[in-house]
Amino acid sequence: MVDIAFLGGGPGGYEGAITAARRGMNALVVEKYKLGGTCLQWGCIPTKTLIHAVRMVRTAAGGKRYGLRGGDGVSLDLQALNKQKERVVSKLTRGIEFLFKEAGVELVSGTGRVTAADTILMEDGREIKARNIVIATGSRMAELPHVKLDGERIIGSRHALDVTSVPDRLLVIGAGAIGLENAFIYRWLGSEVTVVELMDQIMPGSDAETVAVLTAELKKQKIRIHTATRTDRVDVQDGVVHAEFSGEESGWRGEFDRVLLAVGRRPVSEGVFDPGLPIRLDKAGFIQVDTNLRTGLSGVYACGDVIGQPQLAHKASHQAMAIVEHILTGRPVPDHAVPAAVFTDPEMASVGITEARAREIHGDQVKIGRFPYAAGSRANAVDEKAGLVKVVAAPDNTVLGGHIVGAEAGELILPLTLAVQKHMKADELLELTFIHPTLGENVWEALAAVCGRAVHI
Ligand SMILES: Cc1cc2nc3c(=O)[nH]c(=O)nc-3n(C[C@H](O)[C@H](O)[C@H](O)COP(=O)(O)OP(=O)(O)OC[C@H]3O[C@@H](n4cnc5c(N)ncnc54)[C@H](O)[C@@H]3O)c2cc1C
């Protein structure tokens, strides 16, 4: 009998298990494939490796102004790129295996199923007994009722990681983070990329003003973007994909060489527990949990992608760590705003609520602090002038949301995450000294703008 068993070894399962073991618990992970889960094997890490490579191409292409010669002719050796991606993934996978050994976490390889509050049954009949169980089985690629993945012409994010062949014309259906990152990767690998999105903006739900900047920047890179557009039909005939769309620009058609379906991710909840158990799913199949991430079965928790939005690696791992803390100390699982980013170039990152939502709560009393990258000294020096930092605050300057589009947005969102999660006022953060010249100063200026104290605008 172990103290805690995690079903699934993604960011939720593996980070939770290491945390539990380091807190003195006897911890075990059941994983059917490899440690690291979607994030390490087919998600965050391989995509960011590819993004790093294509960004080098893009930077070189824009280097003329700095006197760089030959930048326009730079190209990527796709086989070498794939190998590098595999090297990164396998090194980090071995790293987790090492951490497991060091922390004393037991890894059980194979597919498991929760059959009782204290039991996971493995496919080969072995039974694992645990005082606490955490279901962290993650998610898988979604399809549309009329568009199914075939892995060749109609692919998902997992197939897109194999960049050994680059389609001339790529259609990306869905303009969330996964769709946009792949649109950016393939655009700079040489595809002509068209993105269609059902909602009226890319990155649906994000702050409209920062989204507008990102949209304009991606369009400047010749990525075609059609919002408020429904994909009605996708047919493959003689190796060519014929697609039909409707929406604002109604009734248009297109021909493509490949389609990337990026329309969300479905929970892996089927078959992970016995049907008779009191564990409930919502209509979409996400496991339902209470505020402390407990399922309806005593001692059985769930976390990460399998319980719903936002489907982000850091959400999964922080939830798993919070479950460990809850078991050990009874501390409630914190209900924090989760920051999110899309790693296109420029990047976009956000935390907390949008300006539109803040206006619903506080009306015209909402305070907005903005600072354009174009006014920042470092941004000019490194030719990263496309961007905006926007801080959304309550009438008393409490920071409610942070929205950044521009270089390093994913890193720069940190002080705004601190402010939103700790309910800090913009004034308090102004006391922090930011190094000059850094892009971080743009964040300081936007916070200062909330308080009427900006210097460079
Ligand atoms: C292309 C792409 C890019 C992404 N980029 C980012 C990013 O930049 N930043 C970010 O925060 N998030 C990103 N994500 C999302 C991120 O990968 C997920 O949010 C995260 O992996 C969820 O972690 P998890 O532990 O809940 O599940 P997963 O990582 O999906 O892990 C679940 C694990 O459970 C195993 N499993 C499932 N069922 C069983 C079973 N019955 N028995 C044993 N094992 C089982 C699976 O094999 C898997 O290893 C990206 C996702 C994709 C697809």
Q: Is the pLDDT of residue 82 over 80?
A: yes
Q: Using CA positions, which residue lies closest to atom 9 of ligand 1?
A: 44
Contact 29, 5 (CB under 8 A): yes
For residues 40-44, give the mean pLDDT. 98
Q: Using CA positions, which residue lies closest to atom 30 of ligand 1?
A: 138
Q: Using CA positions, which residue lies closest to atom 37 of ligand 1?
A: 137
Selecting among 52, 423, 436, 456, the annotated active-site residue is 436
* pLDDT the model gives residue 251: 78
* pLDDT the model gives residue 362: 97
The count of C-alpha atoms lying within 13 angstroms of the C-alpha of 446, restricted to the half-sphere facing its C-beta, is 30
Q: Based on the number of CB atoms within 10 Å of its own CB, is 168 exposed (0-12), middle (13-18) or buried (19 or more)?
A: exposed
pLDDT tens-digit series, residues 58-69: 999 999 999 999
Q: 313 CA distance to ligand 1 centroid (A)?
A: 7
* Token pair for 245: 């769309």
Q: 316 CA distance to ligand 1 centroid (A)?
A: 9
ω before 346 within 30° of 0 (cis)?
yes
For CA atoms 197, 193, 347, 42, give the dihedral sign: positive
413 C-beta neighbours (distance < 10 Å), count: 25
* pLDDT the model gives residue 171: 98
Going by pLDDT thresholds of 50, 70 and 90, the confidence category of residue 124 is very high
Q: 436 CA distance to ligand 1 centroid (A)?
A: 38
Pocket test for ligand 1, best of 32, 39, 123, 263 (most atoms within 8 A of CB): 39
Q: How many residues does the chain have?
A: 457
* Token pair for 193: 């990329």
d(CA 410, CA 418): 14
Q: 371 CA distance to ligand 1 centroid (A)?
A: 35
pLDDT tens-digit series, residues 157-180: 999 999 989 999 999 999 999 999
ω before 310 within 30° of 0 (cis)?
yes
Q: 60 CA distance to ligand 1 centroid (A)?
A: 33
For residues 90-95, give the mean pLDDT. 98
pLDDT tens-digit series, residues 286-321: 999 999 999 999 999 999 999 999 999 999 999 999
Angstrom CA distances, 131 to 28, 275, 307, stand at 11, 21, 21
Buried b (16+ CB within 10 A) or exposed e, 179-193: bbbbbbbbbbbbbbb
> Coil, strand or helix: which one is 338?
coil
296 C-beta neighbours (distance < 10 Å), count: 13
> Coil, strand or helix: which one is 265?
strand
pTM: 0.97
pLDDT tens-digit series, residues 387-432: 999 999 999 999 999 999 999 999 999 999 999 999 999 999 999 9
Instruction: Select from 225, 179, 228, 224 the least CA-distant residue to 200.
Output: 228
13 C-beta neighbours (distance < 10 Å), count: 32
Q: Using CA positions, which residue lies closest to atom 6 of ligand 1?
A: 44
Contact 113, 120 (CB under 8 A): yes
Q: Which residues pair with 245 in a beta bridge?
A: 231, 252
Q: Which residues pair with 259 in a beta bridge?
A: 154, 171
d(CA 193, CA 185): 10
Q: 123 CA distance to ligand 1 centroid (A)?
A: 21
- Nearest atom in ligand 1 to the alpha carbon of residue 141 is 53
For CA atoms 63, 404, 51, 168, give the dihedral sign: negative
Instruction: Tell me, rounded to whole angstroms, the distance of Cα 268 from its chain centroid.
Output: 17
* Residues whose beta carbon lies within 6 Å of some atom of ligand 1: 7-13, 30-33, 37-39, 42-44, 47, 111-112, 136-139, 157, 178, 268, 272, 304-306, 311-314, 316, 343
Contact 309, 6 (CB under 8 A): no
d(CA 427, CA 221): 38
Helix, strand, coil fractions of the chain, as percent rounded to 5: 35, 25, 35
* pLDDT the model gives residue 250: 65
For residues 204-225, give the mean pLDDT. 98
- Nearest atom in ligand 1 to the alpha carbon of residue 111 is 42
Residue 280 backbone phi and psi in degrees, to 5: -100, 145
Q: Using CA positions, which residue lies closest to atom 45 of ligand 1?
A: 8
Q: Using CA positions, which residue lies closest to atom 53 of ligand 1?
A: 43
* pLDDT the model gives residue 248: 73
Angstrom CA distances, 166 to 31, 81, 235, 247, stand at 32, 13, 20, 29
Instruction: Select from 337, 353, 451 the least CA-distant residue to 396.
Output: 451
Q: Which residues pair with 385 in a beta bridge?
A: none
Q: Which residues pair with 429 in a beta bridge?
A: none
d(CA 295, CA 291): 10
* Token pair for 163: 């960049």
Q: Is the pLDDT of residue 266 over 70?
A: yes
- Nearest atom in ligand 1 to the alpha carbon of residue 320 is 25
ω before 145 within 30° of 0 (cis)?
no
Query: How confident is the prediction for the chain on average, in pLDDT?
Result: 97
436 is catalytic: yes
Strand order in the sheet with 399-406: 340-342, 347-352, 399-406, 388-393, 367-372
Instruction: Give the list of residues 6+ apart from residue 265 with CB closer than 8 angstroms, or none.
Output: 139, 140, 141, 142, 305, 311
d(CA 369, CA 415): 14
* Rg of the chain (C-alpha set): 23
